[in-house]
Amino acid sequence: MLIKLTGGTVYDPASGIAGQQQDIYIQDGRIIHAPTEAAPDKEYNLNGKVVMSGAIDMHTHIGGGKGNIARTLLPEDHRSDPVARTALCRSGCGHAMPSTFVTGYRYAEMGYTAGFEPALLPINARQAHMEMADIPILDKGGYVMLGSDDYLLRMLTAKKDQQAINDYVAWTINSAQAIGVKVVNPGGINAFKFNQRKLDLDEQNCHYGVTPRDILQVLATAVKQLGVSHPLHVHGCNLGVPGNVQTTLDTIQGIGGLPMHLTHIQFHSYGTEGDFKFSSGAAQIAESINKNKNITIDVGQILFGQTVTASGDSMRQHANHKHASPNKWVTMDIECDAGCGVVPFKYRDQNFVNALQWAIGLETFLLVDDPWRIFLTTDHPNGAPFTSYPHLIRLLMDKSFRNDMLATIHPEAQKMTTLASIDREYSLQEIAIMTRAGAARLIGLKDRGGLAAGNWADITVYTDNPNREHMFEKPDYVFKDGELVVVDGNIVATKWGTTHTVKPDFDPSVEKGLKDYFDRYLTMKMDNFKISDDEITEDGRGSVTVHPTV
Amino acid sequence: MTEITEVPSPFCGIGTDDLCIAVDGLSLKVTANGCAVNTPLFEQPIVDTRARVAGQEVDLDAAISHAAKLLQSAWLPVIGGCATDVNGMRGLLALADRCGAVVDNMNFVGARNNFLSMQANGWMNTTLAEVKNRCDLLLVVGTDVEAFAPRFFERYLWTEAMFLQDPKQRQVIYLGRAPSGDSSTSPNGTKASVLECPLTELPDVMAVLRALVKNQPVRVDSVGGIAVADLQAVAEQLRAAKYSVVTWAAGALAYSQAELTVQTLSAMVKDINMQNTRCSGLPLAGKEGEQTANQVCGWTTGYPARTRFSRGYPEYDPFLNDSRLLLADGEADVLVWVQAFNALSVPPETDIPTIVIGRSGMKFSKEPDVYIPVGTPGIDHAGHAFRMDNVVAIRLKKLRDSGLPSTADVLNAIEQRCRPD
């Protein structure tokens, strides 16, 4: 079937198109050049409408054990947002940590067509893929977590060379069906198992004598040398600790120009000034990002209300458990591989710290110059559920709205932020960069995030509306792989997306050492650990898309 | 005959995946690394391969149609058992969503002790590889570990450890119940220490132990027949250990309001972590798809596997959705029993129409209206199952060609048939 989208105002930063009127043709799931003869089977008149590619959430916790712990922990949260089945859609629940089906529907209803789970524990990757296999419509993928696994730390203590580490990293990416590599509190999750309660950038793990700086260096090098497009995805040391802005600046300096993505940087941008010894480090961070072109970030904006934080950072989550609201929380040590912590949070606008966190995130968005190197996230569900994105977009695009909100937060926090003096308003093109073209480029998605011929036809159509929250919460149309799935913000059809991966080469002899390690120390045979393509495709719904290394 | 190695077991819950199994046609024999739980379940023979309606053999399609017809006319179907693999649970939940059924895992009465505690306070838990490599003190509460999982000690305690000089020196303490055998005895001959008490006294014993851990004053000399001085010694051992682990099986705490015991011991674990050392909980569970049911139901609905769809959306109630109550009170009008792992685990007796999706070889005291024998995940078809520690999903292998349909095949077909025209 040939579909023609006629006369829309197109924002396609991947092709350098910023608000030009253009027709788009779709055939067999992909965007094609204007055909010379054939008449379209179906035409949509998009005069006056805003057209972008489908949005891509490059950091959202949508699959894996900690999410299911969060769900299990909070039945009362689900009860406040039941989702009934319809003729088309499965039932489930929403709010902070929605059920898988509802996750897919609600993302699609906002114009998103892909989401990436940033914390795929190697040993839990199978579960993460199974959960994501039950998320309809969206494409998905994950970044495999390394850095607190005993195997890597043993390699570092034994002074294995970079090539050996590259082989191990590549083997793990393949085994876990990942598209990137993440490190969470480098070495800190491991140190917590040895009863260390904090780990600074240059502090040694008491058992291995390895520092977070060492781990970041070898992993960022491995990712680069393996040709994995997505730079090492870093959740840094000292999350949430006042004064951690210095740790973050040191981390940027310490990586020595290697590509590195710093995630939910808002939680890592805190100073110690003022009466409450808690202040914004956003300006320093933004200055450093603007200067260091090897660095990309996503914000991890917090928004006020109830949510739940689910993180691999068992060390910091344990330290933060006293803030749990409601007062119940879970941590886990996991399989000599990683860990996790789940702590419900209620961010309050009348709480000084929460209010300033809100302002710090927005300052970061507005002070970083290059929208290709900053991404719109709430670290779902940690800063806020993903359903709050339209509200966040309005905060970025509408200065007077932002200042109205600012006037309502804790008065001492208002005094500690420069937000009111920042005039910047994001443009539609900048939003399209952050949430589409930039995200696709960062992850290395070859034919997504753009509207040029050859791309998959993931397309979102909005009605231009000065109230950007209303505009972005209810697109007129969403196409996924050329199929119309949403009309006026409601699901009209469902389908299954693909799983994006990368499969870097490695020396197969890496398995010799691994097999011995699995046999001696782990609780699963090495061959039973590896996730085959069949496991994703055998039910007939899933597929694996392998992106090239660079 | 062929021999298949590194076979993972979906039965025992502790994720043994080193079994060797000889396959001769349709018959299986565990030739290495079996145990009292796994070996009989692998070796259960295929008896019947044809579906039955009212006791008469019919083709699969007719059985599926009949099952769909029963469900379409039901007001409140109940799906019990829920003992199958991940794809089976997906099919089960799709069917429940379609026909407004109640979903109730057969082990939920025990599991509820954990869910109620976890949903009230949370917990700090660990997984099996951490136990193997770090645990220097194992405190067992109210549970006979080796009866639950015969190979637990062999695989996870009396074995090489990355971070212990001499794993044989790990300490084992039983609180409440004594072990039924010698698996917990160290290879160096040291026996586990045992502080026995009547099971119903465990809540008091745990409360006193927690108080001692927190250095609270205790004004009695003994509790449940255990000297407080002995519990004081346990508290000191827990504080002195580098990585102690407290384990229990929720189902073994078979007394009223046992969730409060789980709550006390989980809170004690958290207390110990505030005293400059590490300690973790380790709930034993996961037999015959228990974790699988709760995990898949968890991501599909937000709730554990005691959830109803009768109002069009999932509603969790750990008490009211108990299938035994719904059957006893006459609220349920069709029972679907899904049990792909164990032919000996048959549905509860009831007068309402019953559909059994079960492992081949089930014997019924009362023939169900529909019986569809299905393959066993990890034997007749590949699949996935969750281990007791939830984090780890194991990839189940297909060992033989029986031609039996999978649970998912059958439940998906029934669901298709239940769709409105």
Could you report the per-residue pLDDT of A300-327, keeping only the tens digit for each? 999 999 999 999 999 999 999 999 999 9
Residue pair A88/A414 in contact by the 8 Å Cβ criterion: no
Question: DSSP character for A482?
Answer: T
A203 touches chain B (CB under 8 A): no
Sign (positive/negative) of CA torsion B207, B208, B212, B218?
positive
For the domain made up of B116-284, the CATH class stated in words is alpha beta
Q: Do the domains B116-284 and B2-107+288-418 match in fold?
A: no
Strand-by-strand arrangement of the B193-196 sheet:
A305-311, A338-347, A329-334, B122-125, B278-284, B243-249, B137-141, B171-176, B193-196
A97 touches chain B (CB under 8 A): yes
Q: What angle do CA A205, A206, A208 make, to 5 degrees?
A: 65
- Predicted pLDDT at A352: 98
B244, closest residue in chain A (CA to CA): A193
As for the ipTM of the complex, it is 0.98
Residues in chain B with CB shorter than 8 Å from the CB of A121 are 391
The hierarchical CATH code for the domain B2-107+288-418 is 3.40.50.740
State both tokens at B377: 């995940």
Interface contact flag, A68 B299, Cβ < 8 Å: yes
pLDDT tens for residues B119-146?
Answer: 999 999 999 999 999 999 999 999 999 9
- Residue B421 scores a pLDDT above 80: no
Interface contact flag, B295 A68, Cβ < 8 Å: yes
The chain-wide mean pLDDT, for chain B, equals 97
Residues in chain B with CB shorter than 8 Å from the CB of A84 are 311-313
Among the partner residues B17, B118, B243, nearest to A524 by beta-carbon distance: B17
Give A18's contacts (C-beta < 8 A, 6+ positions apart). Answer: A11, A429
Sign (positive/negative) of CA torsion B215, B219, B223, B227?
positive
Residue pair A14/A449 in contact by the 8 Å Cβ criterion: yes
Distance CA A440, CA A451 (A): 12
Q: How far is CA A129 from CA A28, A148, B269, B299, in A?
A: 27, 21, 31, 12
Rg of chain A, C-alpha, whole Å: 22
pLDDT tens for residues B163-203?
Answer: 999 999 999 999 999 999 999 999 999 999 999 999 999 99
Chain B, residues 161-190, CB within 8 A of chain A, namely: 161-163
Residue pair A468/A432 in contact by the 8 Å Cβ criterion: no
Residue whose token pair is 């934080």: A309
- Residue A58 scores a pLDDT above 80: yes
Residue A416: how many CB atoms within 10 A of its CB?
A: 21
Specify the amino acid at residue A194: F
- Predicted pLDDT at A265: 98
Shortest Cα–Cα distance, B40 to chain A (Å): 22
| Side-chain half-sphere exposure of A517, counting CA atoms within 13 A | 17
ω into residue A381 within 30 of 0, thus cis? yes
State both tokens at B166: 């001499």
Query: What DSSP assignment string belongs to B288-326?
Result: GGHHHHHHHHHHHHSS-SEEE-TTSS-EE-TTTT-HHHH
- Structural domain boundaries of chain B? 2-107+288-418, 116-284
A84, closest residue in chain B (CA to CA): B313
- Residue A446 scores a pLDDT above 90: no
What percentage of chain B exceeds 90 in pLDDT?
A: 99
pLDDT tens for residues A72-100?
Answer: 999 999 999 999 999 999 999 999 999 99
Q: Is A198 exposed, middle or buried (0-12, 13-18, 19+ CB in 10 A)?
A: middle
What percentage of chain A exceeds 90 in pLDDT?
A: 99
Residue B349: how many CB atoms within 10 A of its CB?
A: 11
Specify the amino acid at residue A524: M
Shortest Cα–Cα distance, A91 to chain B (Å): 5
| Domains, in order of start, for chain A | 52-491 (3.20.20)
pLDDT tens for residues B78-115?
Answer: 999 999 999 999 999 999 999 999 999 999 999 999 99
Query: Model-level pTM?
Result: 0.98
A399 touches chain B (CB under 8 A): no
